[in-house]
């Protein structure tokens, strides 16, 4: 076997081939490092004296279905320059690893198409070894995410696990990549991100988020020049919550006959009209409930009108539309709608900023769905740091998530 095959096939360069052994269906290559190639691992000096050796074995790329192992005596040297005694460094393997660099690259390539357990079964190693390779690669690539070129962000929190543990996720809306994952929710979870962002001197133009007081305060304090854009998805979601409260209030006050009509209409009220199922007579049931309850009908049609706000052509037209909608909601005499109109007036600037930047947390909602899918398919991640690193790389993953 030639040394060139060792290099081109297994990435082992600068070592002398000695022999090949076949042990229980496995292939073992024995190599050695020439004396003239020995260097101090600290200062790279060639003025070293050999002080013994230790035999070590390394898993490398398989030959078909056969496992391949490389074994060699790793020299221990004493350096005349820095006066230390250390094992020499290996060119084909990282320190404190039992596999070669080519083996790690192959495992990472397989991980793009297979689960961690499938990769481990294919390579004949433990699940934890493949996870270790993945984690080391993620740490190398995402240990310090570059923030200088950030311009538009989206911020939202996600609940993970049965214990309702929260993570705060920040997304770069231009690239779709996660740039920060913080523990918990609220302003405190974002403090490490703000400090790194300020140090990077990134010129943030706009931030898409919900109407959380904590987020508003944090963005206003740390990014005073950035424009806040309140996401329309969260605004409609908040209105749907008010609509559900109104339905419950009317249900408690309704007669027995009216209760029978109102019962089970909550999801019909929350759904968009185009999504109602005609085969199940959902449009008819909804119209019957609206016909019996004028306040409920008013709130429902105002919700449909509110959705049209984000279809306006420009900022000026949208401002007039929002002012008109708030006036109608206030004039309705329905307490819940009046309160909601007051909320929209208070946050009108952030709502209308959408027409200046046209951004939302929609891409972040898709990322959150991928995170939940990843967690379900992996049956939870005990290593929380590994889980967070996987989130940083989730934009590289197809929706059919693995591992």
Residue 374, domain CATH: 3.30.420.10
Residue 240 and residue 219 in contact, taking contact as beta carbons nearer than 8 Å: no
Same structural domain, 178 and 64: no
pLDDT mean over 53-62: 93
pLDDT, tens digit, 9 for 90 and up, residues 305-343: 898 999 999 999 999 999 999 998 998 888 888 999 999
Residue 74: pLDDT over 70: yes
Same structural domain, 166 and 27: no
Same structural domain, 268 and 372: no
25: Cα within 13 Å, side-chain hemisphere: 5
The residue among 295 and 369 whose pLDDT is bigger is: 369
Q: Domains in the chain: how many in total?
A: 3
Which of 94, 112, 130 delimits the end of a domain?
Answer: 94
Residue 270: pLDDT over 70: no
For residue 277, give its domain range.
Answer: 232-357
Rounded distance, CA 31 to CA 43, Å?
25
Same structural domain, 43 and 76: yes
Confidence grade of residue 289 (pLDDT, cut at 50, 70, 90): low
Question: What is the average pLDDT value for the chain, to the nearest integer?
Answer: 85
Same structural domain, 238 and 159: no
SS3 at position 168:
strand
Please state, in angstroms and as integers, the Cα–Cα distance from residue 316 to each residue in 151, 235, 250, 263, 355, following that order: 24, 20, 37, 41, 9
Confidence grade of residue 251 (pLDDT, cut at 50, 70, 90): low
Q: What is the pLDDT of residue 371?
A: 86
Q: What is the pLDDT of residue 400?
A: 47
Same structural domain, 338 and 241: yes
Rounded distance, CA 291 to CA 326, Å?
23
Same structural domain, 32 and 77: yes
Please state, in angstroms and as integers, the Cα–Cα distance from residue 16 to each residue in 19, 33, 70, 76, 383, following that order: 10, 6, 12, 18, 40
pLDDT mean over 91-107: 92
* Residue 259, domain member (yes or no): yes
Q: Is the pTM of this model over 0.85?
A: no
Residue 181: pLDDT over 60: yes
Q: Which of 67-71, 153-157, 195-199, 249-253 has the lowest mean pLDDT?
A: 249-253
DSSP assignment, residue 368? H
């Amino acid at each position: 076997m030639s040394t060139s095959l060792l290099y081109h096939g297994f990435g082992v360069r600068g070592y002398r081939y000695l022999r090949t052994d076949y042990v229980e269906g496995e292939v073992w290559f024995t190599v050695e490092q020439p004396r003239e190639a020995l260097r101090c691992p600290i200062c790279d000096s060639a003025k070293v004296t050999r002080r013994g050796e230790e035999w070590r074995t390394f898993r490398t790329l398989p030959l078909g279905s056969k496992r391949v192992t490389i074994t060699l005596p790793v020299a221990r040297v004493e350096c005349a320059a820095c006066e230390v005694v250390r094992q020499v460094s290996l060119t084909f393997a990282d320190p404190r690893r039992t596999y070669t660099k080519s083996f790690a690259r192959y495992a990472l390539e397989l991980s793009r198409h297979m689960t961690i357990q499938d990769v481990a079964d294919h390579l004949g190693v433990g699940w934890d070894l493949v996870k270790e390779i993945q984690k080391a690669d993620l740490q190398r690539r995402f240990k310090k995410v570059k923030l200088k070129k950030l311009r538009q962000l989206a911020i939202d929190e996600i609940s993970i696990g049965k214990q309702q543990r929260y993570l705060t996720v920040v997304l770069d809306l231009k690239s779709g990549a996660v740039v920060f994952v913080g523990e918990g929710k609220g302003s405190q979870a974002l403090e490490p991100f703000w400090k790194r962002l300020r140090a990077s001197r990134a010129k943030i133009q706009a931030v898409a988020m919900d109407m959380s007081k904590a987020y508003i305060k944090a963005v206003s304090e740390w990014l005073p020049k950035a424009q806040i854009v309140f996401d329309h998805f969260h605004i409609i979601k908040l209105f749907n919550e008010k609509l559900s409260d109104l339905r419950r209030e009317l249900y408690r006050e309704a007669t027995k006959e009216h209760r029978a009509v109102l019962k089970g209409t909550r999801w019909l009220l929350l759904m968009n009209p185009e999504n109602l199922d005609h085969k199940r007579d959902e449009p008819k049931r909804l119209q019957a409930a609206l016909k019996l309850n004028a306040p409920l009908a008013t709130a429902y049609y105002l919700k449909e009108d509110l959705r049209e706000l984000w279809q306006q052509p420009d900022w000026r037209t949208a401002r007039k539309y929002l002012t008109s909608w708030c006036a109608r909601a206030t004039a309705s005499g329905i307490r819940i709608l009046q309160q909601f109109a007051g909320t929209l007036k208070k946050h009108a600037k952030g709502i209308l900023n959408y027409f200046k930047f046209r951004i939302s947390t929609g891409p972040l909602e898709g990322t959150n769905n991928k995170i939940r899918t990843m967690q379900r398919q992996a049956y939870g991640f005990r290593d929380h740091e590994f889980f967070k690193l996987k989130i940083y790389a989730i934009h590289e993953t197809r929706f059919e998530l693995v591992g």
